[in-house]
Amino acid sequence: MNQHPAAPAVRARTSDNDRLRSRAVWLYYAEGLKQSEIAKILDVTRVTVVRLLADARRRNEVRITIRSPLTELAGTEFELRERYGIDEVILAPVSAPDADPTPAIAAAAGAWISSAITANMTVGVGWGRTLHSSLPFITGRSLEDLKVISLLGGIAAARRFNPAEFAWQFAEMFQGEGYLISAPALVDSPETKHALLERCGLASIFEMADKLDLAIFSTGGITQLTTSYRTGHLSEAERESLIEAGAVGDILYNFIDADGQLVDHPINQRAISADLKRLRAARTRLLVSGGADKHEVMRAAIAATTPNVLITDEETGRALCA
């Protein structure tokens, strides 16, 4: 009697991996659990959970789409295009004026990014809560000669999530080459910044950002505890001194005033990030941000970066038109 013991074993291993991936996908998208919680339930590491979710997206096992056109927002979108000279404006609807707009903005951004990314592109990305939240809504696939460049240094520790992971997760989704900044977003002195850029090879990564096909970035407000302050980069005293200097928020830790100009403050000499000139040089500039605390910095960011594409929530859109 002929027996083939190897075949059932292979099928079993494949089936086990499929089940593990399916459970991770269900717990994350359907149950809304955090990656760390899923890791405990499945008895695996958090890195394994991240890879399972990324694998599911590559296999097109997870698709989140928005099909219904929201014609009632068309008038506001048109007014924003005309007023600010932006080629494309997308306003995400929110359930209530005081609702957190991040999930809605993230969904709209993920859909746009999915259609915009193609082979042979060089993409520069920032990070933050909104961009990180857009990952589940991006349809990943294998693309040839795609380069993803981080435009900002990282953070050493995070509680619920690490927004600086956006760059490498983004590159992983499209199986592209990722170029990360292996330094904090904010260092202790201009001298340290200079040493890291010139002696540790970080300058060459930023030079790659001189010819971006697409730059994806967000903004941070300064009146509330946004990502910059939650992660411990800035002290309360530094935040208050930035406000005294005229700052209304930041773009990639470039702190700007209401006119979109860099404020005269030492913090701007300590940031490991792409400058505003590099952002403006990108062929397509996608600004993704919103929320009541960011209305002022959004106006400033539009002036500072002249985005081709703006994705925000409907309440912020109305405020920008007011």
Q: Are residues 127 and 31 in the same domain?
A: no
**How far is residue 264's CA from residue 244's CA, in Å, rounded to a whole number?**
10
Residues of the chain with pLDDT under 50: 1-14, 69
pLDDT digits (tens, 9 = 90+) for 68-87: 545 567 888 999 999 999 99
Q: Are residues 82 and 53 in the same domain?
A: no
Q: Are residues 120 and 223 in the same domain?
A: yes
**How far is residue 171's CA from residue 147's CA, in Å, rounded to a whole number?**
8
Residue 245 belongs to a domain? yes
Identify the CATH number of the domain in which residue 307 sits: 3.40.50.1360
Residue 63 belongs to a domain? no
pLDDT digits (tens, 9 = 90+) for 161-174: 566 688 889 999 99
What DSSP character marks residue 261?
A: P
Chain centroid to CA 230: how far? 16
pTM for the whole structure: 0.76
Contact 185, 152 (CB under 8 A): yes
Q: Are residues 44 and 75 in the same domain?
A: no
Q: Are residues 94 and 239 in the same domain?
A: yes
Centre a 10 Å sphere on the Cβ of residue 8 and count the other Cβ atoms it contains: 10
Q: Are residues 310 and 163 in the same domain?
A: yes
Question: Nearest CA to 195 among 106, 279, 270?
Answer: 270
Q: For the chain, how many structural domains are there in total?
A: 2
* Strand-pair category, 122-125 with 147-150: parallel
Left (φ > 0), alpha (ψ -120 to 50) or beta: where does 28 sit?
alpha
Q: Are residues 152 and 21 in the same domain?
A: no
Residue 64 belongs to a domain? no
| pLDDT for the residue numbered 15 | 61
Report the b/e string of 137-175 with b at 16+ CB within 10 A. bbbbeeeeebbbbbbbbbbeeeeeebbbbbbbbbbbbbe
Residue 193 belongs to a domain? yes
Contact 123, 212 (CB under 8 A): yes
Q: Are residues 182 and 306 in the same domain?
A: yes
Residue 129 belongs to a domain? yes
Contact 210, 124 (CB under 8 A): no
**How far is residue 194's CA from residue 87's CA, in Å, rounded to a whole number?**
37
| pLDDT for the residue numbered 74 | 83
Q: Are residues 164 and 78 in the same domain?
A: yes
Residue 204 belongs to a domain? yes
Question: Nearest CA to 268 among 281, 252, 244, 279?
Answer: 252
Identify the CATH number of the domain in which residue 37 sits: 1.10.10.10
Q: Which residues contact 234 (CB under 8 A, 6 or more apart)?
A: 186, 228, 242, 267
Q: Are residues 163 and 198 in the same domain?
A: yes
**How far is residue 127's CA from residue 149's CA, in Å, rounded to a whole number?**
11
| pLDDT for the residue numbered 18 | 82
**How far is residue 249's CA from residue 98's CA, in Å, rounded to a whole number?**
21
Domain end marker among 34, 58, 82: 58
Residue 197 belongs to a domain? yes
Q: Are residues 135 and 188 in the same domain?
A: yes
Residue 126 belongs to a domain? yes
Domain extent for 54: 6-58
Q: Are residues 227 and 119 in the same domain?
A: yes
